Amino acid sequence: MNKSWVKFWVLVIAIAFAVIGCHNLVMSPSVSTAVTIKLSGWAGNPVEQKLLRQLLQEFEAQHPTIKVRYEVISDQYMDVMTTRLIGDAAPDVFYLEALEAPFLMRQNVLEPLNAYITPDFDLGDFEESLLANFQSQNYIYGLPKDYSTLALFYNKKAFADAGLSSPPTTWNELRTYSQQLTGKVSKYGFGVSPELSRQAYKIQAFGGQVVEQNGYAAFASPQGVQGLQLVVDQYQKDRTSAQPTDVGTNSGTEMFGQGRVAMVIEGNWAIPFLETTFPQLEFATAEVPSINDKKGTMVFTVAYVMNKESQHKAAAWELISYLTGKEGMAKWTGTGFALPTRKSVAQKLGYDKDALRSPLVAGVDYATPWQVGEYPGAISNNFDNQFISALLGQQSLQQAMVRGQNAANQQIRAME
């Protein structure tokens, strides 16, 4: 074979390899050109902010073609986000609370994630009850990043001084305990947060509903009022419970930490706050006492969602899948300020056996999701205003709930 033929075949082979290389480059599913995507969320505590920024740095190190611009919206988060979605100025990825998800899922502004999810992502690893908050008509619009239920927090010293050796397991026991604890180490036995987000499971304890299937408020039913009456009677008749404002504090966690109340029902967020702010406080947790022989609590969760108008959807998915994947979630929830939504991560971290967190983990199996239809503002605001009025004795509970329900439904009709 002469030299010209050798050169010819060398050229053919070189061209073939070049074509194959270009073909593979085009067909690669990864992000091949450098892009910058925007992530938005609300302001959390400094520890949370620092941890998220660390995770984003690690993500960028593993994905050199993707840069993440993280924006904190410190006030009126949903108002800002809704305005930006309408004006095509929303971020590529953003936080979405379960409470707000039903409305946005119907507005055709969120990208369905079904097509991005592969078997390797292991969707079945998520707690089904948490994932369900972000599903509609067989579409998955968000992946929950963490959650918290509510549990009973109690002051161990106050219990010991009152001769109480174990936490109450029923609401009747809680009321009895409150009577024994009031005026001792603490001024009140129990701290109550009157908002609907803390009362919805009581409405359901006797068969009531917060919202009907048609989206209208239904909390004024006799069954709903029966559950809420427990709170009013303890506050007005027993005088063994207090709201934060009654004792000069801003939250249930704060009045418990200051020793103003011996028991309070709070979420996982209270644990690091109490350990850091009140290090001398000796406290323990237990599952929320049952009502009407039914276990009950609330569950709150937040998801990462993708803007349907994002210009960088492949990169946006890479970020979401990293933050809610097994590795990212283990790092995100490993410090204990949030609970993992993946079962395997929860098992790995051992929170189901943790003395303080195990009651919170147990509650996810029977908790009421904090989700009240497509118009949560109308329902929760009217409930809160009227229920506090009833709690203070300004009107009967039945009258207050009817007024709140009617006002909520009137607003919903106007918005439909």
Q: What pLDDT was estimated at residue 43?
A: 82
- Average pLDDT score over the chain: 92
Q: What pLDDT was estimated at residue 46?
A: 83
Domains of the chain: 35-148+300-365 (3.40.190.10), 150-298+371-415 (3.40.190.10)
pTM, rounded to two decimals? 0.90
Q: What pLDDT was estimated at residue 19?
A: 36
> Could you tell me if 182 and 189 are in contact, meaning their C-beta atoms sit under 8 angstroms apart?
yes
Dist CA 139 CA 128 (whole Å): 14
Is residue 26 pLDDT above 60, yes or no?
no
Q: What pLDDT was estimated at residue 11?
A: 40
pLDDT in tens, 280-324: 999 999 999 999 999 999 999 999 999 999 999 999 999 999 999
Please, which pLDDT band fits residue 273 given cuts at 50, 70 and 90?
very high
Share of the chain above pLDDT 70, in %: 92
Q: What pLDDT was estimated at residue 28?
A: 33
Could you identify the residue written with the tokens 């709070």? 266
> Could you tell me if 193 and 243 are in contact, meaning their C-beta atoms sit under 8 angstroms apart?
yes
> Which of 73-87, 113-127, 359-373 comes out lowest in average pLDDT?
73-87
- Within 68-134, residue ranges assigned H as helices are 77-86, 101-105, 128-131
Q: What pLDDT was estimated at residue 9?
A: 43
Look up residue 123 and give its DSSP letter.
Answer: G
pLDDT in tens, 157-197: 999 999 999 999 999 999 999 999 999 778 999 999 999 99
pLDDT in tens, 195-225: 999 999 999 999 999 999 999 999 999 999 9
Please, which pLDDT band fits residue 20 given cuts at 50, 70 and 90?
very low
Q: What pLDDT was estimated at residue 285?
A: 98
Q: How many helices (H) and strands (E) would you count in the chain?
A: 17, 12
